[in-house]
Chain A
Amino acid sequence: MAETASFETLVELYYESLYRFAFSLAGSESAACDLTQETFYIWQTKGHQLLDPAKVKTWLFTTLHREFLNSRRRYLRFPHLELDEAASELPSAPSVSLDRLDAEAALAALARVEEPHKAALALFYLEDYSYQEIAEILGIPIGTVKSRLARGIEQLKRLVLGGPDYLPAERNHRG
């Protein structure tokens, strides 16, 4: 079996991208840090089971996503509004010029997207993963990946750009 990179090398290579994925899912720095740290901890105890070292990145992302879902199951005991209910209470976000779209605005929009689409969107934007790779990480069929991306991107555009026409703000003629 080919040698896997040292633990320090793996951390150096992937901790930032894993953190971005975790933040996209969890929406808070503390939760994202915990998820990332937990993922590497699990690697320490179970990484030796990975037979193909070339799959280590996918393994890490899959593990992080699974840990997020596990924590989410515990979190769902906490009384909170489902996103659809909360959306009507949230102040409507002003449309953003794409040139000024920053991480905060992008994440705010992603947080309002329906739950099933978020993980696929995060992997799509953060890592340039193929549909096959996204399907493998999330444990869903490729067809589901495609539909979640399409629906998710539709919602994101509505949230970021404002309005159903998907026109960028600088082309909004209402002003």
Chain B
Amino acid sequence: MDKQSIKEILLRYPPGNDAEVEPELAAARREAEKDPELQEWFAQQQKFQTAMRRAMRQIQPPASLKARILAGRPASRKILWWQSPQWLAAAAAFVLLASLVAFWLAPSRKPGYAAYRDRMAKFASREYRMDILATNSAQIRAYLAGKQSPADYVVPRELEPMPLAGCAALKWRNQPVSLICFRRGKDDLLWLFVISQSAVPSAPSGQAPQFEQINKLALATWSQQGKTYTLAAFGDRVLLQRYLE
């Protein structure tokens, strides 16, 4: 093996793992030990590897992460008597009957604000997408108007200077929802959802934003000129207030 080939192989020699390296690595190491220059190079290489491994392993998760994970754990898998097929079938029939009765007896009402808010929060935090990528406000409004989605929305004064990223025309319970994305820094976004106020009558009706926190997502909702706005971002209320003053 020539020196360059030996170095190429030894680049990926794991730090502090002399006992279990694969034969190719062991052979390259033996060759390096015959050459003082390669020995020195390898020593420095391993110093780098060790430092990288030590540094990477310093990463610590936030204190709340474990509890968040455990909060989502399922029920025990042990089969209990009420989980037997006969009881499950009977329970399912009862639930269906009760639902039908409730449906026919309950007064007609639109899905509430909480359902809308939760759906937008889930969209932003897990599955958001943009229909078009655009930095031009007129282009975004034209696209949304073409999709019969709210296009004559009012952007808060402090939010207007933020660079645009794009938009999407969404639907919630068959009601059009406009999503306008603003870029915040290198990797973060601000999501602005706009829906007709009549589609979510229980939403905050005043111009003063109502702030909420869903996990790591901060939301602010207000209504103005027949539309309900929800601004969302990863962060907290303080972050959102910056754009809503």
Contacts and interface: CB of A to CB of B under 8 A. Distances in A.
B57 A11 contact: no
Given A37-B68, A124-B14, A160-B52, A78 B73 contact: no
A83 B15 CA distance: 28
Contacts of A168: 44, 47-48
A170 B20 CA distance: 31
B55 A103 contact: yes
B37 interface: no
A74 interface: yes
Contact of A37 (B22, B69, B128): B69
Contact of B128 (A7, A32, A74, A167): A74
A160 B129 CA distance: 35
B72 interface: yes
B59 A19 contact: yes
A160 B59 CA distance: 17
A167 B44 CA distance: 8
A24 to B, nearest CB: 7
Interface string B99-142: 00000000000000000000000000111111001010000000
Interface string A122-157: 101110101100000000000000100110011011
Contact of B12 (A36, A74, A146, A160): A146
Contacts of A131: 22
B236 to A, nearest CB: 12
Interface of A is mostly: helix
B12, B62, B66, B73: most-surrounded residue (chain A CB, <10 A): B12
Interface in A64-109: 74, 77-80, 98-99, 101-103, 105-107
Contacts of A167: 44
Interface residues of A, number: 57
A149 B12 contact: yes
A149 B56 contact: no
B93 interface: no
A52 interface: no
Interface in B150-177: 165-166
B133 A156 contact: no
B73 A20 contact: no
Given A32-B61, A103-B55, 5 more contacts: A15-B69, A78-B130, A78-B165, A101-B52, A153-B11
15 contacts: A8-B70, A12-B66, A20-B56, A23-B59, A30-B216, A33-B61, A33-B68, A34-B125, A45-B74, A77-B129, A77-B130, A78-B166, A102-B58, A150-B12, A168-B44
Interface of A: 7-8, 11-12, 15-16, 19-20, 23-24, 27-30, 32-34, 36-37, 40-41, 44-45, 48, 74, 77-80, 98-99, 101-103, 105-107, 110, 122, 124-126, 128, 130-131, 146, 149-150, 153-154, 156-157, 160-161, 166-168
